[in-house]
Amino acid sequence: MKAAINGGRARAEHPAIPITLEEQAKDAAAVIAAGAGAIHVHVRGSDGRESLEPDDIARAVEKIRGACPGTLVGVSTGAWIVADTRRRLSLIRDWSVLPDFASVNVHEEGAIDVIRLLLERGVGVEAGVWNAGAAKVLRGSGLAHECLRVLIEPAEDGGDAMTNFAEIEAALGQAPPSRLLHGFGASAWGFVALAAERERQSVILGDVATFVTLC
């Protein structure tokens, strides 16, 4: 099970969102104690904004690992953090402390290059797929089976989430075999029900989203 401890949310949305290193470590330890087996964090810089800077990544990953020994720690590489693809790739190349995995949104510019770089560096990849178009891009890249898993995020493309989910699954076909369903708000409960209908499913509830594994 994986817990997403903060996402891209700001303190203004909820005063308990873990922003500082100490808050992130404390929340990570709490969810691990409650039964989670991995942590997904959106790393913040000293200004509280999301960051991919090598020093910020190193501090966050090391702080969480120190609070949760043996726990897998993943980070976000969303293009909203660093919009310029070349800059984003340059920062990832300079990471001195590597997370265990990182999420990459396939529909974003340069996503396939980001996935390749992470894989080359030995970082597991969660390929974020928001729609059928992104699913086709991932499948066509030939990298789907090299990813740790695909993160299906149908609620984020608007419209009917279940219809979008069905279109994504059809576009993915048999690749990749390990999938994590990411629902937001009310749509999450439909995905919980979907997981209950399928064998070998588990549900991960976090403070920013609901995750359902589709294995």
Over pLDDT 90: what percentage of the chain?
62
Calculate the average pLDDT of the chain. Answer: 87
Does residue 192 register a pLDDT over 80? no
Is 71 in contact with 32 (CB distance < 8 Å)? yes
Q: Which residue would you say has higher pLDDT here, 202 or 60?
A: 60
pLDDT for position 207: 32
Does residue 202 register a pLDDT over 80? no
Confidence class for position 178, pLDDT limits 50, 70, 90: confident
pLDDT for position 210: 42
Confidence class for position 201, pLDDT limits 50, 70, 90: very low
Give the pair of three-digit tokens for residue 186.
């009310």
Longest Cα–Cα distance of the chain, Å, equals: 44
pLDDT for position 90: 98
122-145: string of b/e by CB count within 10 Å (b at 16+)? Answer: ebbbbbbbbbbebbbbbbebebbe
**Separation of alpha carbons 104 and 185, rounded Å:** 21
Over pLDDT 70: what percentage of the chain?
87
For the stretch 44-62, pLDDT in tens is 999 999 999 999 999 999 9
Q: Which residue would you say has higher pLDDT here, 201 or 112?
A: 112
Is 182 in contact with 153 (CB distance < 8 Å)? yes
pLDDT for position 158: 60
CB atoms within 10 A of CB 206: 19
Does residue 152 register a pLDDT over 90? no
pLDDT for position 206: 37
What is the DSSP code string of 12-36?
TT-TT---SHHHHHHHHHHHHHTT-
Q: What is the mean predicted confidence (pLDDT) over 19-24?
A: 96
Give the pair of three-digit tokens for residue 74.
């993943």
Does residue 157 register a pLDDT over 80? no
Does residue 205 register a pLDDT over 60? no
Q: Which residue would you say has higher pLDDT here, 197 or 65?
A: 65
Confidence class for position 161, pLDDT limits 50, 70, 90: confident
Does residue 133 register a pLDDT over 90? yes
What is the DSSP code string of 45-87?
-TTSSB---HHHHHHHHHHHHHHSTT-EEEEE--TTTS--HHH
SS3 category, 137: helix
